[in-house]
Structure 1
Amino acid sequence: MEFRMIAMAALGSLAALAAAPAAHGAEICTAIADAATGKVLMQRGDCQRQVTPASTFKIPISLMGYDAGFLKDEHTPELPFRQGYVDWRPSWRSASDPAKWMSESVVWYSQQVTQALGKVQFAAYTRRFEYGNADVSGDAGHDGLTASWLESSLRISPLGQLSFLGKVVNRQLGVSAHAYEMTERLMRFGQSPEGWRINGKTGAGSGYGWYVGWATKGERKYLFARLMQRDKSMPQEVSSGPLARDGFIADFPALVNAIEVDQAIQPLLEKNAIPGMAVALSVNGKHYFYNYGVASKDTGQAVSNATLFELGSLSKPFTATLATYAQAQGKLAMTDPVSRHVPYLRGSVFDRVSLIHLGTHTVGDFPMQVPAEIKSYEQLMDYYKNWQPAHAPGTHRTYSNLGIGLLSIATARSLGVPYADAVERTLFPALGMEHSYIRVPAAQMAQYAQGYNSKGAPVRVNPDVLAEEAYGVKSNTRDMIRFVDANMGLLPLDAKLARAVADTHAGYFTLGAMTQDLIWEQYAGQAGLEQLLASTAEKTVWQANPVGAVAPPSAPQADAWLHKTGATGGFAAYALFNPARKVGIVMLSNRGLPGSERVSAAYEVLSRVAPGAAPAAAAP
């Protein structure tokens, strides 16, 4: 699967499409490479077309001028403007220094530098730099020494620009350290889109617009080149170079996020033979969607951010939210005994088990799944009524569908409607989740991905007892990243619903570094991957573990990592977010994969796209 196709799909739902033509111009090529290795990570369009470098050639001229000693610093030498110099722009008709030369693309200043070098040295530098076709001979209308880069003999492609820039940032051109340092300083761009420091240079000529350079954030550095072609609607006084720059700067965060996500997700897909996956990010309130593979191997339908996936146990936070929403409406209290809302269970252990115990997996020692012999809800109620725990409520955590299923039943009865109706007709609309379902309607079946089991056979969730209540939601990344935003306090919600969402983040029990909220598993903001992975350990998932009660329950923590995995026989899901850092991720796939790999991949994605906000390195 080629990355550029993934990137295009990923960016398709953004408000400003990265693939869209720039204003008054058509994109010819956008290419991005890893600065350390030179590996091209993304190329879109005709990236081998050689055209005039125009003012992007000021980068090599700067290196030449500082290395040869003609240029000294940012303001030396200052050269006077003289009659006869190129003066296409009024601002060029005055003295210029290196800073003004680079920022305003003063052509005559470039010509003074190259003439100071002389033909022999100028040509030698160009050949040594292996810059484009390295032809500075000029032509019948252009002197090579003063105009070969201006719509004349010198040509370079976007990929050629990346090759040259890689030698610049890795200092492989054989010029002085001062030459590299001053050139980098002159190329500094004043804006830092999403924390990226940009060094770049525009260029315009023969109807083309360039923007080339590199971007740095922390330890990461990428080379980039964008080439566009102006169209007839562009006013002549508007330069295509700044348009290429402004378009690229606007697109860059999404483009680089696509690269970062792909580097983390692609190996996961290949290792586990995943037919399709949808990934959504929320970073400072902005959404990014990345779609891989197919929703069905039979039809070949591509995954999109509208594709419905089974969430498995990632459905459980909706039960918790519905319960706290019912509490906010005065229909129940989470401290209520279960039997208050399920009268059939009066006189059983559920007189002493609270709704909080159901929502925190601390009922006792329920089995993970509904016993196979239970085929009806009547049989299930009898099972509950006669069940006796091996541990007192609130002393041990045992992950189970039976507990959350009973919370769903109790909550629905407090509301007086069936559970599926309460979720689909009340909770989802209140959250603005327009395409999430427990029972997928016929009109939406075309969006419902086909799941595949470990042998690659097509499967979907069975309508077993508690399937709807414990693991029945089907949703897409568009709705799920909205749910993540709701949990980070980024959506304008009804006051009662906002309180309900926040209430699911209260901490009730501790198990190692994990705090058990209502379904959400919480870790401190400084937690690292090692701590997050503890939730997926076999002991944590399958065994009863002693817990410590948090008394009183801890208030929702802003700087905390909350996450939840989910899976059915043919699907896998994961969500991770931090409200204070305003970063979250949702991953949905149509084949199972280990929870630890989901957590690790999500951690890697957030570490790449939001390093300042991502979980810290694991504590010693």
Structure 2
Amino acid sequence: MRNGKIIGRIASVILATATICALPAAAQTTASTAPADDAVIRSAIPRIDALFENFQKQNPTPGLVYGIVANGKLVHVRGFGVQDMAEKRPVTADSLFRIASMTKAFTALSILSLRDAGKLSLDDLAEKYVPETRGWKYPTSDSPRIRVRDLLNHTAGFVTDDPWGDRQQLLPEAEFTKMIRAGVPFTRAPGIAMEYSNFGYALLGRIVANVSGMPYRTYVERTILKPLGMTSSGYEVGESPLARRAIGYRWENDAWLEEPTMKHGAFGAMGGLQVSANDYAKWVAFLLSGTPARDDADRGPVRRATLREMAQGSNFSRTRRRFGSTAQSGCVQSEAYGMGFRVAQDCQLGRMMHHGGGYPGYGSHVLLLPDYGVGIFVFTNRTYTGAAEIAWDAAFLLNDAGAFTSRPIPVTPALTAIHDQARAAYASGDVSGLPLAMNFLMDRSAANWRTEFARLRGLVGDCPRAEPLTATGALSATIRWTCEKGALDGQILLAPTTPATVQALRFAVVQKQP
């Protein structure tokens, strides 16, 4: 904070140049695993630009930058307004913003990387790594003690601490140690509900430091930031060039007041990271590269399987409405907290991972669609102004434009072989030639199957053509057969046996000609 003086009303909007850039190979997904349509995304960009520009003007916010990552690259980034109202420097893709609680994902991945290295277990008690917490317990005889996993999932029993936690950023490590030794009150027993806790993620930062043997920020920078090429990002704001910093502001008494620039401290693990849009896009692309599971070389600083693990929630799910203009659409989401991300199931777009960031002087939001390989993020330099609703509106605009197509599940040889045998069984009217699981004829007799095949043939006749199978898993698929007088839809479900056997075969007439 430069003397905390009032700097004046919002500057006129200055637009930064949009850029398109490829990311380092380690952060890219492969073409076969990222089906979003780049051309459709680019065609929708003028409308999305307008969404963010209108938000920046109407709220108002001194400056804003947003980016869209798809197919392993930053396909679009755009800045609006200014990063510094005194100098009127325009926001660009290289402007540095604090991302507040979006830092938690970096902390979570650091814990998981230490787990991968065999240095801790998520089911270990937190007191094993932070001995000052030894003896912490909710005051009932049957209450469990806090595990590392509870801290990751916000199920440790701590009270929600926004905005108190935001102002602890400066706390020196020695003072944090005193705070831990003094103990903290529990709001409930661990493991029975999710309640968001900045304090819990500060404890995770201490675990990272104690287990790795180096300061928390050093571990994150060496393990994640540097390998991903995030060379402009870091925790100590004073180490970055002033000319690139987006200065944080709040609106108070009809004027802009500059927020103090907080140094890195013990609570940096919950919200202290500073990044540029160009850098953060590399992180988003890396997270998206974890989906789907596949045989490609695992070149990232942390395993793909570990990235997917971040979406595993605490299973304390709740229902919520979407952000943005589609909130009243009738699509109510189921949401749980994973590890550094909220994970929702949406009726249109399926799995959505997201997190906001609110901080004195800053607001941010990130939305990941891992099944489509797309991420959208936004940073602002106004206190607690994250523009989440606009990021979500942009995602649904892209969906309406046709940018997203579901990633196909490979059809296994076993499904292909049994599909061919099922077609032969229909032609012969007898299931005896199929490799049947032990339950198959117990659930429906061979005689009844002959009757059913005869009935279907009477309705639609022979079925000489079949559309390609649509796998719903490695052991299940839907089928569509084109027949003489219509069509049949069906399902093949294999049993968990070796060799492959059929546990269920289902058919339905979906089209019958007169």
TM-score by length of 2: 0.61
TM-superposed deviation, 1:570: 0.6
Matched residue of 1:575: which SS?
strand
Aligned AA (2:65): A
Matched residue of 2:80: which SS?
strand
Deviations 1:520-564 (A, max 9, x none): 000114267xxxxxxxxxxxxxxxxxxxxxxxxxxxxxx510000
Query: Of 486, 509, 514, which residue of structure 1 is paired with 2:286?
Result: 486
- Aligned partners of 1:320 and 1:564: how far apart in 2? 13
Query: Of 317, 328, 337, which residue of structure 2 is paired with 1:511?
Result: 317
Alignment of 1:222-301 (within 5 A): 254=42, 256-286=43-73, 287-301=75-89
- Aligned partners of 2:310 and 2:146: how far apart in 1? 18
Tell me if structure 2 keeps the 8 A contact 1:606–1:614.
Answer: no
- Aligned partners of 2:120 and 2:90: how far apart in 1? 43
Matched residue of 1:412: which SS?
helix
Alignment of 1:313-462 (within 5 A): 313-349=101-137, 352-368=145-161, 369-370=164-165, 376-385=172-181, 386-440=183-237, 442=239, 444-455=241-252, 456-462=256-262
Tell me if structure 2 keeps the 8 A contact 1:450–1:460.
Answer: no
Tell me if structure 2 keeps the 8 A contact 1:434–1:479.
Answer: yes
- Aligned partners of 1:599 and 1:269: how far apart in 2? 12
CA pair 615-526 structure 1, distance change in 2 beyond 3 A = farther
Query: Of 469, 472, 475, which residue of structure 1 is paired with 2:275?
Result: 475
Aligned AA (1:354): R
**Which ranges in structure 1 are unaligned for 5 or more consecutive residues?**
16-192, 197-249, 529-558
CA pair 461-338 structure 1, distance change in 2 beyond 3 A = farther
TM-superposed deviation, 1:345: 2.2
Tell me if structure 2 keeps the 8 A contact 1:308–1:448.
Answer: yes
TM-superposed deviation, 1:367: 4.6
TM-superposed deviation, 1:581: 1.1
CA pair 443-437 structure 1, distance change in 2 beyond 3 A = closer
Alignment of 1:56-71 (within 5 A): none
Matched residue of 2:364: which SS?
strand
- Aligned partners of 1:377 and 1:584: how far apart in 2? 34
CA pair 343-303 structure 1, distance change in 2 beyond 3 A = same
Tell me if structure 1 keeps the 8 A contact 2:290–2:304.
Answer: no
Matched positions, count: 349
- Aligned partners of 1:372 and 1:400: how far apart in 2? 14
CA pair 356-260 structure 1, distance change in 2 beyond 3 A = same
Aligned AA (1:305): A
TM-superposed deviation, 1:267: 2.0
**2:410 counterpart of 1:602:** no
Query: Of 591, 596, 599, which residue of structure 1 is paired with 2:382?
Result: 591
Tell me if structure 1 keeps the 8 A contact 2:124–2:148.
Answer: yes
2:358 match: 567
- Aligned partners of 2:231 and 2:301: how far apart in 1? 20
Matched residue of 1:396: which SS?
coil
TM-superposed deviation, 1:302: 1.3
CA pair 591-615 structure 1, distance change in 2 beyond 3 A = farther
Tell me if structure 2 keeps the 8 A contact 1:527–1:615.
Answer: no
Matched residue of 2:221: which SS?
helix
- Aligned partners of 1:375 and 1:437: how far apart in 2? 18
Q: Which runs of 4+ in 1 moved over 4 A?
A: 193-196, 370-376, 613-616
TM-superposed deviation, 1:490: 6.3
Matched residue of 1:423: which SS?
helix
TM-superposed deviation, 1:398: 1.8
Aligned residues with identical type, % of pairs: 22
CA pair 514-258 structure 1, distance change in 2 beyond 3 A = same
Aligned AA (1:566): G
RMSD after superposition = 3.3
TM-superposed deviation, 1:481: 1.7
- Aligned partners of 2:46 and 2:54: how far apart in 1? 13
Tell me if structure 1 keeps the 8 A contact 2:357–2:384.
Answer: no
CA pair 449-283 structure 1, distance change in 2 beyond 3 A = same
As a proportion of its length, which structure holds more helix? 1
Query: Of 68, 91, 101, which residue of structure 2 is paired with 1:303?
Result: 91
Matched residue of 2:339: which SS?
coil
